[in-house]
Structure 1
């Protein structure tokens, strides 16, 4: 297989998946206008997507069943719990206190966390190219969101801390999925992980909440369905495929384009205006993405 074509297709898949995932923050903010709780909204997101994942898990078998051990299924349970339950729940909670733009700048510290975790666990080497791409993309993100930073409110600090926990748990998921995906395949692994996450959310609701979920306006359920399909189902497979093609570390760097897509989506659907600095930041982030996707990038 031509490595440059693999890299280019991986970058494209990663960008589409990241943009769709980024739409989640906008959909959540729209849903919060109807006074829905974080756990209810997360439950709607997961339950609407669950039938699709069950069908996929039933019909699509693991890619390399001969090398799969029983302990690998326990790892799936762990990473499903961490990656799409804890990470999503912390993120939904954080979005109750901070704007979508500020959520993105905090959430996208996860590339650094991925590289750090990978170095600690797998003794990987952070190349100069990866370091340069990280510096450029993070500089672009900081420029784009400079006007969003405001730590005068304690609620903002709490929201920022919750979103940071989301970034940390998502980084752990990315690192773990990087070595499990070759065993199970992209589609089965993602389906298994999402089923586990849905079960975790359901248990959370039944044990801690148990208030009625049938008293909201129809807009809440529509937004929940859109989150399930456009910001969960489709991008979850795209992200897993991108990780397979590029590796967790390189994917995490490309993920820095997420905040820029959130700016654009927030402008369209939430009425947030783009400033000159945000346009400059977008350009700098795209420059960083160009470095990551160049032909000399190495596949893991």
Structure 2
């Protein structure tokens, strides 16, 4: 029953992070500034609850826990930095295709670091979902000498966010959602703030609409998106989270159609079908494996 709730949380989380691209498109602020305020405001909103109910959990954290928290926060921050920077050199489609390799990174990382076994059916399900994402982006995909640097940045960003989920699943199983996300988001916002200051971007010269979208980014794709993924990680692994994130392009297509009047093309519909089938097959396989495991106990 709890795993079913975790799957529902992953679906809602994926739909929530789908709003990210829309809100980013509505603001003209530098990408690193957007990322900084996205996490900074999330931390601000969480502070009262953390201070009242969860600050005592930090006393239970040892040096290893803090090291994992710092690493997780830094990986999340550099994912944003490298992901946004990649878009300066390569197409959005190319970058999206590369970032959708998250499940493969998660499968490999889970196998080597956590001894998680991946069945052939799970590999096929993941590759089917990745194929769907490639189909969605294929019309604008490009790989050229000029874009190669951006493609490499996107690939590293993909590895960074997968590392964030892999490291995070260790801590999330030990500490509450609020304590874990508050600390990790806080560390990530400090890293991003340092990046903004280093490159001398303004922290304040933005209009009212920009501030509104900063706040919306903190609330919807971060507190309802990333935080729901982190909540679910107590019952599912990083590979399952990475698979669920592949639903983001579908949500973004629907929202772009509603809010930006963008057309929905046949390739997008076909790609979305592959993603849904791939993720559905993966979840079903996990459910069957769990039933067999419990029946043997």
Q: Give the TM bin, normalised by the shorter chain.
A: 0.7 to 0.9
Match of residue 268 from structure 2:
278
1:81 to 74, 86, 94: 74
Unaligned runs of 5+ in 1: none
Q: In the alignment, is residue 178 of structure 1 matched against residue 174 of structure 2?
A: no
Choose the corresponding residue for 2:49, options 30, 52, 56: 56
* CA RMSD after TM alignment: 2.5
State the SS of the aligned residue for 2:18: helix
| Structure 2: tracts of 5 or more residues without a match | none
Number of the residue aligned with 1:69: 62
2-side partners of 1:16 and 1:99: how far apart?
27
Q: Which residues of 2 match residues 80-229 of structure 1 at below 5 A?
A: 80-83=73-76, 85-98=77-90, 100-152=92-144, 154=146, 156-206=147-197, 208-229=198-219
The alignment's TM-score, normalised by the length of structure 1, stands at: 0.87
What is the SS of the residue equivalent to 2:246?
A: helix
Q: Contact (CA 8 Å) 2:15, 2:251: kept in 1 or not?
A: yes
Give the whole-Å Cα distance in 2 for the aligned partners of 1:39 and 1:251: 24
User: 1:170 deviation in Å?
Assistant: 0.4
Say yes or no: does 1:23 pair with 2:19. yes
- TM-score, normalised by the number of residues in structure 2: 0.87
Check conservation: 2:43, 2:186, Cα contact below 8 A.
yes
Which of 6, 29, 37 aligns to 2:2? It is 6
Paired residues in the alignment total 290
Q: Using a 3 Å threshold, how does the CA distance of structure 1 residues 220 and 245 change in structure 2: closer, same or farther?
A: same
Q: Is the 8 A contact 1:60 1:188 kept in 2?
A: no
| Change over 3 Å in CA distance of 1:225–1:99 after alignment to 2 | farther
Aligned equivalents of 2:36, 2:103: Cα separation in 1: 27
Q: 1:90 to 1:287 in 2, by over 3 A?
A: same
After superposing the two structures, state which structure 1 stretch, 55-64 or 117-126, moved more. Answer: 55-64
Within a 5 Å distance, the mapping from 1:37-48 to structure 2 comes to 37-48=30-41
CA distance in 2, matches of 1:195, 1:66: 17
